[in-house]
A and B are shown apart, each in its own frame.
Chain A
């Protein structure tokens, strides 16, 4: 079945770049998403990339997609303490708009 994998934790220093990685199995995914979840809150859509793109940049966020290796990454430049949160990678398969989520990566930014 479809599966999305992420590492569980990442710790960086304020000002450094953060790179959160994700692998997925469904090669038919149309879109791949990155969501951010702060404690006690819902998910905030950060960015998404269409499956025929290799890269997408939006201010401090850069998404890289390697479709051959089914690998997606989110780079956050100049990471701030306010970026501390859980980041979820998700893919949309062929199931009526359902999303398949990874386990989430907890990003901790130290001053």
Chain B
């Protein structure tokens, strides 16, 4: 149980385009989902906390107009990187919090490369 999927697993896009990444909890309902960014050989950096039906809470230094988060249902949150630039290239990982245990389960990650 407690499986989280992400789609796509990797994406290459041109500078200036927008990219949407989906995060789904497959076998449980997640009232809270988290979005992280990870640079090579580094730890995870929390970008934002997403609660179903409300606006996301962004960490300091994360541009909310750049990284749009929508959590429209208990099983789906989306992260849209708007007007992507090469410096947005990174590994983006989501997690979903199981309400029964408060434990975060992570998706497999999405590798974004902006040319």
Residues of A within 8 A of B (CB): 30-31, 33, 35, 40-45, 48, 88, 92, 96-99, 101-104
- Encoded as 1 (CB less than 8 Å from any A CB) or 0, chain B from 15 to 34 comes to 00000000000000000101
Contact residues in A for B6 (Cβ distance below 8 Å): 42
Is B7 engaged at the interface, CB distance under 8 Å to the other chain?
Answer: no
Structural contact, B49 and A97, CB atoms closer than 8 A: yes
Interface size class of B (residues with CB under 8 A): 20 to 34
Chain A's nearest CB lies how many Å from the CB of B115? 20
Interface residues of B in 28-51 (CB under 8 A from A): 32, 34, 42-44, 46, 49
Contact residues in B for A92 (Cβ distance below 8 Å): 102
* A103/B46 contact (C-beta < 8 A), A42-B93, A45-B103 known: no
Contact residues in A for B93 (Cβ distance below 8 Å): 42-43
* A44/B106 contact (C-beta < 8 A), A103-B42, A103-B43, A104-B43 known: yes
Structural contact, A42 and B107, CB atoms closer than 8 A: yes
Contact residues in A for B58 (Cβ distance below 8 Å): none
Chain B's nearest CB lies how many Å from the CB of A102? 7
Which A-B residue pairs are the 5 nearest by beta carbons?
A43-B106, A42-B108, A42-B106, A42-B109, A101-B43
A44 CA / B95 CA spacing, docked (Å): 11
Chain A's nearest CB lies how many Å from the CB of B97? 5
Chain A's nearest CB lies how many Å from the CB of B38? 9
Is B111 engaged at the interface, CB distance under 8 Å to the other chain?
Answer: yes
A31 CA / B104 CA spacing, docked (Å): 11
* A88/B44 contact (C-beta < 8 A), A42-B6, A42-B109 known: yes
B107's nearest neighbour on chain A, judged by CB, is: A42
Partner of B104, one of A30, A99, A104: A99
Structural contact, B109 and A40, CB atoms closer than 8 A: yes
Structural contact, B111 and A40, CB atoms closer than 8 A: yes
Chain A's nearest CB lies how many Å from the CB of B94? 8
